[in-house]
Each structure stands twice: as structure tokens, then as C-alpha cells.
Structure 1
């Protein structure tokens, strides 16, 4: 079997100059900042008793968050207030900036709407959403007759 290499690892095999130009344009903060997602990453886990929702939102305070429940839709939003009396910084590159965001999650019918808790520690917003008793998985051994 022969291994064939195409374009010698270049994106544009005709002229490597174009690769440098496009890489510098796409990685430039003027254009690159527009392409960076402004929505925080989320992890969702489940165990027998509850759901765990974690959002990575560094640089915010717990007062910046607003969490609403409307029927089965849980909405998490934040708006960072501008700090007064702080000198403006001139950034050469700025990739994380959550001045405001909104994330919504449709909760299953198995959740207990009265038992939702939120905690913000070390840049991670953690929500615990309890399941209703009747929705919890009941395990038991079934005897064979």
C-alpha cells in the first residue's frame, strides 16, 4: 500500500502565500472576535435524583445572573455591568467576554419545579434540578417463579 500526500499539508497547494494571508486575517482580532462564540459552554449531567447543569462563566458576579422558569423552560441570562472609575484597557486580543448572554433549556416533565437551586463558585454556575419522586427510577429485584 502506498501513502499519498496531497497539497503537502497546505490548504492552498497552488500558492502558500494565500495560506499566510488567510490565516492572519481569520486569526486577527478584528475579524476573529466576531467569530468567537459569545455563549458560555454548558455541561448537563443526570443521576437518579436530579439533573446538574453547569455553565462556564468566568469573570461574572452572582448578582449578574438572572434565572427564570416559565412552564418547562429554564432560562439563564447574565448582563455584566460596566465598572466605573476603571481605566479602559487596549486589548491586543480578547477572546472571552460575556457582557451578556441568554441560554434556555427545556426541562423534562419529570423535574420538580419547586426544587431548583443555583450556586456560583470559581467561574462555574451550577444548577441542581431535582426530579419528582414518582419520576425517580426505582430499582428492585424481580423474582422468577
Structure 2
């Protein structure tokens, strides 16, 4: 009896087909289109406020929508673009559509009435002030 060892990694009849299929799925253009894009975020806390920075380059401040529902702060953006050249007859047009939603639960110490937002150089910056009673108060305690 003869034992034959099979390669379990490549079970297709034609190895070329597998190579092409794998290279197609691993192509950066295809991977970029298939992957869901959610902007990276940095959250910091200072003595007086919470700072949220969201990296969202290529957008305008009009593309963003910021909502506060109870203690949940939601940041969303939607951008639609259509690339069309006049004077030519096209059999294909390319559309671009990007959107995302990020939500953050604000702590009880956040002042929901004092939230500011600014979009500069591809970074959306939100400053959420703290309530006065939540701010760290330092004082010297006298010894009796």
C-alpha cells in the first residue's frame, strides 16, 4: 500500500485559480472597499473637561451631525460624491458614498449643556465641560 500526502492548504483542482483568487481578495483596493471604515478616536480627561478627538480627514464640517440623546453623544458623517464629466457619453459612472456613526456614553459628571465642537485639519474636536461639583477641588486641610 502506498501513502499519498495531500496538501490541505490548497484543495482546489487548479492551483493557479487559488492564487488568483487569494491575490484578488488580499488586494488593497478591494480590501479598502470591503472594510468598514470607522474613524479612530482619542479621549482625554482634564481637570475641567473631557476631550474627544475624531480623525476624519477629507470631510467638511457640514458633513458631520452631532446629537445628544439623554447621556449618549452620537457623531455621524455622510459624504456622497459623484464624479461626472460633462460633454462625454459614459457607459459607466462612479459614485462614492462614505458614512459612519460613533456613539459615546457621557459620564454623570459631564455638563450636557456645555459641549463645543470644532473641525480643523481633518480632526473633529469636541470639548465636553464637567459639572462644577465634579471638578477636582483642592484645598489645604488644617490640623487641629
The secondary structure found in structure 1 opposite 2:62 is: helix
Distance in 2 between residues matched to 1:84 and 1:24, nearest whole Å: 28
* Aligned counterpart, 1:56: 55
**Residue 63 (structure 1) shift:** 0.3
* Aligned counterpart, 1:106: 105
The secondary structure found in structure 2 opposite 1:138 is: coil
Q: How does 1:74-93 map to 2 (within 5 A)?
A: 74-83=73-82, 85=84
**Residue 140 (structure 1) shift:** 1.8
**Residue 24 (structure 1) shift:** 3.4
Q: Which structure 1 residue ranges, 5 or more long, are not aligned?
A: 1-13, 90-96
The secondary structure found in structure 2 opposite 1:63 is: helix
* Aligned counterpart, 1:123: 122
- Provide runs of 4+ in structure 1 moved above 4 Å: 83-89
1:95-141 Cα shifts (integer Å, max 9, x gaps)? xx871000000000001111000000000000000000011011122
Distance in 2 between residues matched to 1:141 and 1:133, nearest whole Å: 19
Q: 1:133 to 1:62 in 2, by over 3 A?
A: same
- TM-score normalised by length of structure 2: 0.71
Distance in 2 between residues matched to 1:25 and 1:126, nearest whole Å: 38
Q: 1:32 to 1:85 in 2, by over 3 A?
A: closer
In our comparison, the structure showing a higher alpha carbon Rg is 2
- TM-score normalised by length of structure 1: 0.71
* Aligned counterpart, 1:136: 135
Residue-pair matches, total: 124
The secondary structure found in structure 2 opposite 1:129 is: strand
Q: CA RMSD in A?
A: 3.1
The secondary structure found in structure 1 opposite 2:81 is: coil
Q: Which structure 2 residue ranges, 5 or more long, are not aligned?
A: 1-8, 87-92
